[in-house]
């Protein structure tokens, strides 16, 4: 394996993964194809731009002709390009169906036509739907996605497995848990709360804040993808998680403590519709393959908070323009209603 096509490499996890491939494998060449949606940012990989083994291609995974041209050149594909935010999918899912479902299909067709050694599809724990208290989802469980983002990822995840069963395409699927770290667009909970706290703005916590997520540091997630690219068994699915369970309210409080900001910045706001209460994965299968996370939650959160503190121009830019419209649409009425309720009490 020498040439790898990474899709969505200008995004959060993708940018860390591209950097990891270039760092760990001095003989590898990496092509990063990314559409640069609002979530993609070439600044995330400025440090490798001059590297001769790295090439950035501005493009859409739905573009079959471009995918043919790129896939023809490579030995393996790691597919991260996606629309990724649950709240945006609830506001309108067109782009999710287009990129996450159709885009993945286009990539699979190109891979089938040109032949590749490995196709790693980066799926998510959300495809299982919520896990009841005390239960951890395993790879053989049925998929029961409950929001449009999760459903579009589940569709693509199953298409990948179908291409293995039908055509023998060497697919490996990872289903990762909530990931945190530097360069995550400030719409997901952690970077949103960190950047709001840095601006002394309220942290909009959905519902009672007692929902549970299992947090995985981005470098650990990338190490798992690296292992699956090289050692994952084809046709298999691997859960990737860290057993770093936290209630959302605990995460909000920990962020405020790290930044020395008052807990009064937390605002309980109207919940996300269909909000999955808890995710939990049984990740013994990838553990048996030789992976375990290295970074605990406290260390991961401290590193993440420190990065946003040191990179204000990065997140101020991300929070400008169209972000403001999204923020207003998603949070404007929620925060107003919370303030009204507080005034009434
Ligand atoms: P992200 O939103 O930060 O980045 C997505 C990238 O894909 C962006 O650079 C964007 O420009 C690009 N993209 C979007 N549509 C495209 C298209 N049509 N063609 C080419 N590029 C396109 O996402 P992320 O958080 O880094 O997630 C990466 C992958 O990992 C996604 O597939 C996501 O479902 C999965 N995942 C994420 C998490 C998490 O907690 N962030 C957890 C598990 C799995
Ligand atoms: P998020 O980062 O959107 O990831 P996911 O939906 O993939 O789990 O959300 C993480 C948790 O934080 C989830 O339970 C929803 C909650 N949340 C809030 O309470 N407020 C917010 O503003 C956001 C974006 C998320």
Q: What pLDDT shows up at residue 206?
A: 98
Confidence of residue 32 (pLDDT cuts 50, 70, 90): very high
pLDDT tens figures, 180-208: 999 999 999 999 999 999 999 999 999 99
The answer to whether the CB of 191 falls within 8 A of the CB of 184 is: yes
Range 305-320 burial, b when 16+ CB lie within 10 A, else e: bebbeeeeebbeebbe
Instruction: Please say if the pLDDT value at position 276 is more than 80.
Output: yes
Ligand with smallest separation from the Cα of 145: 2
Active site residue 149: yes
Catalytic residue among 29, 83, 87, 126: 126
Structural domain containing residue 160: 3-180+216-240
pLDDT tens figures, 301-336: 999 999 999 999 999 999 999 999 999 999 999 999
pLDDT tens figures, 133-157: 999 999 999 999 999 999 999 999 9
Q: What angle do CA 99, 119, 43 make, to 5 degrees?
A: 55
How far is 18 from 3, CA to CA, in rounded Å?
12
Q: What pLDDT shows up at residue 316?
A: 97
How many separate domains does the chain show? 1
Average pLDDT of the chain is 98
255 Cα–ligand 2 center, Å: 14
146 located within any domain = yes
Mean pLDDT of 76-84: 98
274 located within any domain = no
How far is 121 from 107, CA to CA, in rounded Å?
10
The answer to whether the CB of 278 falls within 8 A of the CB of 211 is: yes
C-alpha distances (whole Å) from 208 to each of 98, 167, 211, 266 are 33, 47, 8, 11
How far is 80 from 156, CA to CA, in rounded Å?
11
Q: What pLDDT shows up at residue 161?
A: 98
175 Cα–ligand 2 center, Å: 18
Catalytic residue among 87, 125, 223, 276: 125
Instruction: Please say if the pLDDT value at position 342 is more than 90.
Output: no
Q: Which contiguous run of DSSP H or E holds residue 287?
A: helix 284-289
Instruction: Please say if the pLDDT value at position 1 is more than 80.
Output: no
The answer to whether the CB of 123 falls within 8 A of the CB of 157 is: yes
What is the percent of the chain with per-residue pLDDT over 90, rounded to a whole number? Answer: 98
Q: Name the β-bridge partners of 281.
A: 137
Confidence of residue 106 (pLDDT cuts 50, 70, 90): very high
The answer to whether the CB of 56 falls within 8 A of the CB of 45 is: yes
Tokens of 21: 């491939």
Residues with CB under 6 A from ligand 2: 86-87, 126, 178, 188-189, 192, 204-206, 211, 213, 248, 272
| 3 state DSSP class of 176 | strand
State residue 215 phi and psi, 5-degree precision.
-95, 130
Kindly report the CATH number assigned to the domain that includes residue 166: 3.40.50.720
Residue 28 buriedness (CB in 10 A; 0-12 / 13-18 / 19+)? middle
How far is 200 from 218, CA to CA, in rounded Å?
26
247 located within any domain = no
Mean pLDDT of 247-253: 98
Q: What pLDDT shows up at residue 331?
A: 98
pTM above 0.95, yes or no: yes
Instruction: Please say if the pLDDT value at position 345 is more than 80.
Output: no
Q: Which contiguous run of DSSP H or E holds residue 266?
A: strand 266-269
82 located within any domain = yes
Residue with more model confidence, 129 or 1: 129
Instruction: Please say if the pLDDT value at position 344 is more than 90.
Output: no
305 located within any domain = no
343 located within any domain = no
225 located within any domain = yes
Cα 209 off chain centre by: 21
What is the percent of the chain with per-residue pLDDT over 70, rounded to a whole number? Answer: 100
The answer to whether the CB of 149 falls within 8 A of the CB of 138 is: no
293 located within any domain = no
Mean pLDDT of 41-51: 97
Cα 216 off chain centre by: 11
Q: What pLDDT shows up at residue 31?
A: 98
Q: What pLDDT shows up at residue 208?
A: 98
How far is 302 from 102, CA to CA, in rounded Å?
38
Secondary structure (DSSP) of 19-54: HHHHHH-TT-EEEEEE---TT--GGGGGGGTT-TTE
271 Cα–ligand 1 center, Å: 24
Instruction: Please say if the pLDDT value at position 343 is more than 90.
Output: no
């Amino acid at each position: 394996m020498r040439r790898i096509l990474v899709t969505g490499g200008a995004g959060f996890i993708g940018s860390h993964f591209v950097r990891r491939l270039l760092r760990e494998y001095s003989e590898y060449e990496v092509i990063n194809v990314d559409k640069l949606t609002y979530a993609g940012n070439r600044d995330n990989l400025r440090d490798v731009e001059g590297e001769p083994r790295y090439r950035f291609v501005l493009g859409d995974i739905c573009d079959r002709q471009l995918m043919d041209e790129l896939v023809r050149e490579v030995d393996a594909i790691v597919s991260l390009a996606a629309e990724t935010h649950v709240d945006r999918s609830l506001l309108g899912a067109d782009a999710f169906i287009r990129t996450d479902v159709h885009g993945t299909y286009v990539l699979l067709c190109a891979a089938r036509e040109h032949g590749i050694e490995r196709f790693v599809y980066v799926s998510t724990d959300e495809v299982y739907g919520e896990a009841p208290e005390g239960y951890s989802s395993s790879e053989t469980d049925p998929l029961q996605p409950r929001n449009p983002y999760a459903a579009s990822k589940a569709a693509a995840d199953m298409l990948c497995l179908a291409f293995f069963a039908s055509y023998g395409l060497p697919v490996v699927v990872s289903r990762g848990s909530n990931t945190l770290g530097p360069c995550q667009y400030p719409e997901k909970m952690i970077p949103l709360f960190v950047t709001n706290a840095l601006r002394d703005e309220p942290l909009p916590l959905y519902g009672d804040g007692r929902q549970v997520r299992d947090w995985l540091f981005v470098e650990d997630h990338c190490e798992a993808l690296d292992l699956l690219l090289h050692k994952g068994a084809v046709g298999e699915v691997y859960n990737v998680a860290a057993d770093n369970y936290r209630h959302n309210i605990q995460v909000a409080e920990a962020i405020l403590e790290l930044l020395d900001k008052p807990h009064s910045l937390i605002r309980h706001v109207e919940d996300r519709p269909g909000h999955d209460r808890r995710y939990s994965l049984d990740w013994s299968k990838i553990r048996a393959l030789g992976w375990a996370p290295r970074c605990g939650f406290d260390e991961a959160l401290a590193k993440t908070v420190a990065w946003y503190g040191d990179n204000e121009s990065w997140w101020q830019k991300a929070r400008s323009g169209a972000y403001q419209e999204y923020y207003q649409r998603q949070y404007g009425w929620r925060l107003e209603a919370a303030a009204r309720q507080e005034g009434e009490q």
